[in-house]
Amino acid sequence: MLDSKEVNEALRRNVALLSKQTEREVSMMPATVAPLPSVEQVKRIVVLVKNIVFPDYFNKRQPDEGIRSYYIGVHMEELATLLTKQIAHGLQFCEDCEAIRTKEQVYTEAERLALSFIDALPEIKRLLYTDVQAMFDNDPAAPNFGEVIFCYPSMNAMTHYRVAHKLHELKVPVIPRIITELAHSKTGIDIHPGAQIGEYFSIDHGTGVVIGETSIIGNHVALYQGVTLGAKSFKYDEQGNMLNIPRHPILEDYVTVYSNASILGRITIGHHSTIGGNIWLTHSVPPNSKILQSKAVDAGFTDGAGI
């Protein structure tokens, strides 16, 4: 067993070293000393949205509208308070917020953004119920809507995405990405909050799905596990900095993409098209297309010959 003095000295030495901020550490932190966003509090924000949007599923069922209204009101008040605080903390990362410098200005702007989000909740609810319908309609293994809402990882991911996307539209820094990464870590479904996804969207199974920032997805689109809507290449400015320009696919209405297909680059998949599994696609296809793999060749071996 090591001597206690030796252990304590090692602890003190490393505490002293790790307490000093390096130049790189300082360069990566916001200039202010205000508190940073809390991942746990952001997680609570999504829970509150679920309680409001799916009140009969994530709260005790309340047939009486008055009682239901009371509980939704309680959750709404907590949501407004938490969201305002977390947005205020996240505004430290805003690169275009020179006009809001004082603490009062920051919290005023955060409250405005939080209320704008709350005004969008009825539309977020409408979109999420279209997603529930699409997932139920596209999966014969779904016995009822409740199982979709309670159990489907894709529904969990879409709830996080719909919340994050609205905050992204409001130009809230950091918080939207925290929200979608919470779903990513839990479900394996990686949807950037900047992606645009229409109504009646479904993902079957979902594990390994990647939807990039500038993807545009129409209505009634269905994806299967392992699908990637990614970038083919990146462009740089004269200083060698990567440009954030549209670089992900556009999927028009009623497109189905089967498992492990990779659709890359700023290309368009025309409406009512089907993209088969394990396809690598880097060019646009017209409406009503059906893109499938070549048929496998059944070549037998003779005399012990290998491939």
Q: What is the pLDDT along the chain (307 residues), one digit of tens a residue?
A: 789 999 999 999 999 999 999 999 888 888 776 789 999 999 999 999 999 999 988 877 777 888 889 999 999 999 999 999 999 999 988 877 766 667 788 899 999 999 999 999 999 999 999 999 999 999 999 999 999 999 999 999 999 999 999 999 999 999 999 999 999 999 999 999 999 999 999 999 999 999 999 999 999 999 999 999 999 988 888 888 888 899 999 999 999 999 999 999 999 999 999 999 999 999 999 999 999 986 655 655 555 544 4
What's the pLDDT score for residue 98? 66
What are the tens digits of pLDDT across the range 154-168? Answer: 999 999 999 999 999
Residue 107 to residue 175: CA distance in whole angstroms: 15
Please give the distance of CA 99 from its chain centroid, rounded to a whole number. Answer: 29
What are the tens digits of pLDDT across the range 115-168? Answer: 999 999 999 999 999 999 999 999 999 999 999 999 999 999 999 999 999 999
**In the chain, count of helices (H) and strands (E)?**
10, 14
**What DSSP string runs through 215-265?**
-EE-SS-EEETT-EEE-S---B-TTSPBP----S-EE-TT-EE-TT-EEES
- What the block records as the tokens of 191 is 């949807």
- What the block records as the tokens of 200 is 């009646």
* 210-211 and 202-204 strand pairing: unpaired
Burial class (CB in 10 A: 0-12, 13-18, 19+), 135: buried
What's the pLDDT score for residue 242? 83
What's the pLDDT score for residue 278? 95
What's the pLDDT score for residue 301? 54
Burial class (CB in 10 A: 0-12, 13-18, 19+), 122: exposed
What's the pLDDT score for residue 307? 45
